[in-house]
Structure 1
Amino acid sequence: MRAVVVRTFGGPEVVEVVDAELPEPGARQVRIRVAAASLNPVDAGVRSGVFGGAGKTIGLGWDVAGTVDAVGVASAWSVGDEVVALDYGMAKPLGTHAEYVVVDTDAVALAPASVDAVHAATLPLNALTAVGALDLLALSPGQSLLVTGGAGAVGGFAVELAARRGLKVAALVREEDEEFVRSLGGTRFAGGAETFDGVLDAAVLGPRALALVRDGGVYTGVIPQAWPGSERGVRTDAVEVGADGARLAELVRAVDAGELTLRVADTFSLADASTAHARLAEGGLRGRLVLVP
């Protein structure tokens, strides 16, 4: 099968499409025939060596939508099931940017019935990150939340999920994105000296975002071990996403209920993975790039 890997670190030019052995599922695992797999900033980080793994062949891709193709012993899934999953891992030999991927059975959820596989592939990593960050913030209905990067992939999900929790959601976005974020449930936009009960720093602004938290409030970032230190009694931490099929199933139900908006910026063939990485590096995307085998 074809798979996207890096064997040395660098820019988009180091991304390769290689022939790899078809992986076989073990106990409590499934093999998914990939229909679509989104490209995330973490893939660029892996590609450039941020997470280590020098000297190894590293497979790229965390998100997947596709069809169960084979099952191991004690799997809860059946061949033919249409699913989505998160394949967590920084330096794994194969990722979801491939024709087939093997994942643990408890990382899998039935795919949304209301969208195609390309859109479904944008859900797992970003939505699980958003809901995990909101859980860490632990704000109560009626409290105020600022989401930096509220028009981005994680930020957009966070705005929608926070509004459903009864929070007063503000966003830090470009002026041209205000109408879109308002459609997600954002009620106002940050400016001036206003502070908030909590800040979800999806744009990774660090100290700048921390300054927007009221004394005694809470800050949550999206990069593990990379959040600013506490000050003014503000609790600071960051979400570390993990594969969670049960939680993913809840998010799928929200998609089918029209409560979460999935956005695709563009699609690329697997053979054009390097070009997709170059487009990601250009920035300015609203929605995810998706690879289609």
Structure 2
Amino acid sequence: MRAVVVRSYGGPEALELAEVPVPEPGPGQVRVRVRAAAVNPVDVATRAGALVQGGIMAAREVTGLGWDVAGVVEAAGPGTAGFAPGEEVIGLSDRLDLPLGTHADQVVLDADAIARRPAGLSPEEAATLPLNVLTADQALDRLGLRAGQTLLVTGAAGAVGGFATELAALRGIRVVAVAGEPDEDLVRGFGAEIFVPRTRELPAAVRSAVPGGVDAAIDAAVVGLPALEAVRGGGAFAAVVGGAAPPALRGTRVSNVWIRADGPRLAELALLAADGRLTPRVAGTFPLAEAATAHRLLEKGGLRGRPVLIP
């Protein structure tokens, strides 16, 4: 089968479409034939060697890419229940010890990392969900906000920030969304109550709209300290990029959100998307052989969605 890999870390030109053995599912695992796989910033970081440099992933001769997947179950390993060959699924490959990722013809995942794909979502749409929607959902859970409380979301027009805005609004949380001025209508459509254009004076702008500061923040744009300063004393702050959390000033409860696969919760979130209450966004589709083009598009910035690879 084919898989997108890197043998030496670097720019998009380091990507290679290689022939590799078809993976076999072990106990509690399934093999999925990939129909669509999103490209995320973590894939760019992996390709560039940032995860190895940060001590998050071990260096190896061949490194596969890809976290998100939509596809069809091909085979199940021993002791695997709940999924049969031929079922349409979506899933998340969150194990950094595995040699290959989802940017391939086939991928093996733990059975508890996948969910059935609702009929109302195309494979391309579904492939943009797992990593980003679970990150947003788990960040919200970490903050522990109640209906009526206020949440600052930076990067609210992006993939994680957009889902965080929508999920918070569904929970009755008042969202203060930070994004570029052209994206105001977009993020208000996601359910944001207050819009703050990107500005160097972020704390002042937010506190002007919410006197005393917001109850919590999800820093999807990796703003760092300015976003923290917009949170009231004793509030909560969630960084969604590993190692990006600022110091816990003024008694703020600060945490890094490290994504974990969660098939049952992904199933619930996918149904919300199929019902139109969450918004998957596909920023173009590309064959596996054009993975470098998708990486360049993502690195350029300004996307409202994720590039998706189609084997």
If the length of structure 1 is used for normalisation, what is the TM-score? 0.98
1:67 equivalent among 66, 72, 92: 72
Q: Would you say the 8 A contact 1:122–1:262 is kept in 2? A: yes
Please point out which of 189, 208, 227 is paired with 2:226.
Answer: 208
Alignment partner of 1:56 is 2:56: no
Deviation string 1:90-139 (CA, Å, 9 cap, x unpaired) is 35311000000000111110012112101100000000000000001111
Q: Give the whole-Å Cα distance in 2 for the aligned partners of 1:89 and 1:75.
A: 18
- In 2, Cα distance between equivalents of 1:193 and 1:2: 48
Preserved contact between residue 36 and residue 292 of structure 1 (Cα < 8 Å): yes
Instruction: List aligned pairs for 1:29-40, cutoff 5 A.
Output: 29-40=29-40
Partner of 2:3: 3
Determine if contact 2:37/2:310 at 8 Å carries over to the other structure: yes
For the 8 Å contact 1:51–1:91, the answer to whether it is kept is no
The residue identity in structure 1 corresponding to 2:70 is A
Matches within 5 A, 1:187-266: 187-190=193-196, 192=205, 194=207, 195-266=213-284
1:169 matches 2:187: no
In structure 1, what residue type is equivalent to 2:274?
A: D
Deviations 1:60-86 (A, max 9, x none): 000000000111112221000000000
Aligned-residue offset at 1:193: 5.0
Q: Match of 2:223, SS?
A: coil
Q: Which amino acid aligns with 2:285?
A: T
User: Which one of 169, 176, 187 corresponds to residue 181 of structure 1?
Assistant: 187
2:152–2:216 CA contact under 8 A, matched in 1: yes
The aligned counterpart of 1:287 is 305
Residues in 2 aligned to 1:240 and 1:55: alpha-carbon distance in whole angstroms: 22
Tell me whether 1:145 sits opposite 2:151 in the alignment.
Answer: yes
Map of 2:134 onto structure 1: 128
Amino acid at match of 2:297: R
| Kept in 2: contact 1:65–1:117 (CA 8 A) | yes
SS in 1 for 2:251: coil
Q: Over residues 140-199 of structure 1, what are the superposed CA-to-partner deviations in whole Å (9 max), with x where a residue is unaligned?
A: 111000100000000000000000111011100111001011111011113625121111
- Report if aligned partners of 2:222, 2:244 keep a CA contact under 8 Å in 1: no
Are the counterparts in 2 of residues 27 and 74 from structure 1 also a CA contact under 8 Å? Answer: yes
| Matched-pair contact (CA < 8 Å) for 1:46–1:91 | no
Deviation at residue 223 of structure 1 after TM alignment: 1.7
The runs of at least 4 consecutive aligned structure 1 residues that moved more than 3 Å come to none
Structure 1 residue matching 2:33: 3-state secondary structure: strand
Distance in 2 of aligned mates of 1:170 and 1:43: 29
**Residue type matched to 2:73 in 1?**
V
What is the one-letter code of the residue matched to 2:96? Answer: M
Whether 2:288 is the aligned partner of 1:270: answer yes
CA contact (8 A) 1:131 1:161 kept: yes
Q: How many residues align?
A: 293
Counterpart of 1:94 (choices 74, 94, 100) is 100
- Structure 2: where are the runs of 5+ without partners? 53-57, 197-201, 208-212
SS of match in other structure, 1:176: helix
RMSD: 1.1
Q: Please name the residue that 1:47 is paired with.
A: 47
Identity over aligned pairs, percent: 53
Matched, 1:22 2:27: no
